[in-house]
Amino acid sequence: MKKYCNMNFNLINYKLIKFIKSINKIKDLPKDKCIEIAFIGYSNVGKSNTINALSGIKKIAFTGKKPGTTKLINLYQIIKNFYLIDFPGYGFSNISLKNKNKHTFLLNKYIKKRKSLKGIIILMDIRQKLKKLDINIIKKTIKKKLIIVLLNKADKLSNNKKTIKKKYFKNEIKKYNNNINIQTFSSINNEGLKILKKKINIWLALNIHLLK
Ligand SMILES: Nc1nc2c(ncn2[C@@H]2O[C@H](COP(=O)(O)OP(=O)(O)OP(=O)(O)O)[C@@H](O)[C@H]2O)c(=O)[nH]1
Ligand SMILES: [Mg+2]
């Protein structure tokens, strides 16, 4: 455990990333005995771009200018038994209510039931405010300690504004969950990428027995 927490995060070769499949049912995920890190958040906040930034491969995860780019749950493997999961964004107004409810149901079920879920990365646009569906997720994950909030698109703000917004998000989020680590992030200039990799290293270290 100690060895992995102190491990040089560059030792995990994210470039080995492989797209495995797109699914729309939890039962199509791998056997529930692996390590999964889920990327969740509103549409267009930059979840797919963050997977690309992490892997260093620009187009492994499909990204788009318009919200609603990721329509299915996409599964990426880094090494055996270690997966990154790209969720469709919530709150996208252009999909039918039926599909919206289906997405919410899937995400809630996944968070509640999935044993392999070892880390949750919630992305938010740093320029916006803490929103309702993020609060719902934060409340639901209150007992799960392995969460990081990435305040993405930090490249769009000055250092001064970034500090103000980080403080704002910290104060708002702590009303619901005091256990959440909050980082500024940008998949354009890689701000926060090292910290994210370190965090994932710790999550892996805590579950190292599953990596065999
Ligand atoms: N400036 C800036 N733009 C970003 C950043 N991350 C993502 N974007 C842009 O935001 C848009 C959406 O990015 P995606 O990664 O597709 O967002 P998503 O959260 O996966 O969206 P959905 O799949 O619709 O849920 C794209 O135009 C990206 O170029 C960032 O850190 N900085
Ligand atoms: Mg996406």
Nearest-atom number in ligand 1 for the CA of 68 is: 24
**Mean pLDDT on 71-87:** 92
Is the CB of 52 inside a 6 Å radius of any atom of ligand 1? no
CA distances, 157 to each of 52, 161, 183 (Å):
22, 6, 14
State residue 185's pLDDT score: 98
Worst-scoring range by mean pLDDT, 97-106, 139-148, 151-160, 201-210? 97-106
**Residue 64 Cα to ligand 1 middle (Å):** 7
Is the CB of 186 inside a 6 Å radius of any atom of ligand 1? yes
State residue 171's pLDDT score: 97
Is the CB of 22 inside a 6 Å radius of any atom of ligand 1? no
Residue 89 DSSP one-character state: P
Name residue, tokens 């970034």: 162
CATH number of 2-211: 3.40.50.300
**Residue 104 Cα to ligand 1 middle (Å):** 20
Q: Which ligand is nearest to the CA of 156?
A: 1
State residue 208's pLDDT score: 86
- pLDDT tens track for 186-198: 999 999 999 999 9
The answer to whether the CB of 42 falls within 8 A of the CB of 133 is yes
Q: Which of 204, 207, 177 is nearest to 11 (CA)?
A: 204
Q: At 95, is the pLDDT very low, low, confident or very high (cuts 50, 70, 90)?
A: low
**Mean pLDDT on 26-36:** 94
**Residue 10 Cα to ligand 1 middle (Å):** 24
Spell 155-185 as b/e; 16+ CB within 10 A means b: eebeeeebeebbeebeeebeebbeebebbbb
**Mean pLDDT on 147-160:** 97
Worst-scoring range by mean pLDDT, 73-77, 154-158, 205-209? 205-209
CA distances, 68 to each of 64, 126, 159, 210 (Å):
8, 19, 30, 33
pTM above 0.85, yes or no: yes
State residue 62's pLDDT score: 75
Spell 128-139 as b/e; 16+ CB within 10 A means b: eebeeebeebbe
Percentage of the chain beyond pLDDT 90 is 64
The answer to whether the CB of 126 falls within 8 A of the CB of 160 is no
Q: Which residues surround ligand 2, an ion (CB under 5 A)?
A: 47-48, 69-70
**Mean pLDDT on 172-199:** 94
Tokens of 129: 């405010």
